[in-house]
Chain A
Amino acid sequence: MVRQGEPIFGPLDFDLHAGEVLLIEGGNGSGKTTLLRVLAGLLSASEGRIERNGVVSEDLTTPVGFLSHALGLRADLSPIEQLDFFACLYGLRPGISAMGALKSVGLDGFEHMPVRRLSAGQRKRCALAALLHTANTLWLLDEPYANLDRDGQILVDRLLEAHIARGGAALITSHGLIEPTVSRVRRMRMELAHA
């Protein structure tokens, strides 16, 4: 994988199965975010291929739940309106309402407040609620624990646990300070590429 002619990371070979979390660890600049964007189809890899359900995915044909540092929230909209927008794009997960999803991430009482007025942690919770609210089975989460308090980190673990229990899969990145406590975690380390 190269950026402006500079290699970001070298060859990687891994797979991810339903019902598990794959944790990608690595320091700043090791290419975790880039890898996630490649997997999400937002960047194309300079070489190699990605298979989804055994099919080489050239283009995005199946939606994935994607959480990055930019959370994708519009500052002027309220959490409930955000969730509705996400649902329009991705489809609804059966059995959970937008209000319910916001309540389970601890945003009850903030449903109608513009995102602009929420704290960084609350915005992250809002984006997590959107993941919960929508129907994706594959989650690609970039630093899901960042900006969250202790309760928030436990919340992420709980969401991941429930997700894999439903047969979903998740790929998350971490710079290594926070350990996910989820039943089925595999790890992969990325090292800094040397030009």
Chain B
Amino acid sequence: MTPHDLSKFRTRLPECDLVLFADIGSRTVLAASGALRHPQEYLDALAGVAAEVFADGTEFRGAASTEALFLSPTGLRAFFRSADDPAEALACICGPGVDLGNLRAASHAILGPRG
């Protein structure tokens, strides 16, 4: 996945201010696209959150979570885990009015099919 792919992802979702693709095993940001240029520390922190919400021990009935969505009146922080490679995840920062259906569909499309 390239920054160009992530830019196209944001184009489809005007309320998405930042999207990054990370290796949550190593907590490494692999690519990012944002409306603003964010400090690397900020991107690293977001990748760290993705790693935390999908870490070992967060499973339910033996199933690993593939989506973690934090919604507040001021915005949405969304994390999607790749079905193909559980070590890869997408993190998005969106406005509060983002279309959830579009966001989920776009995330699943860019991360690959899931069961």
A-B complex is real: no
Q: Which residues of A contact B (CB under 8 A)?
A: none
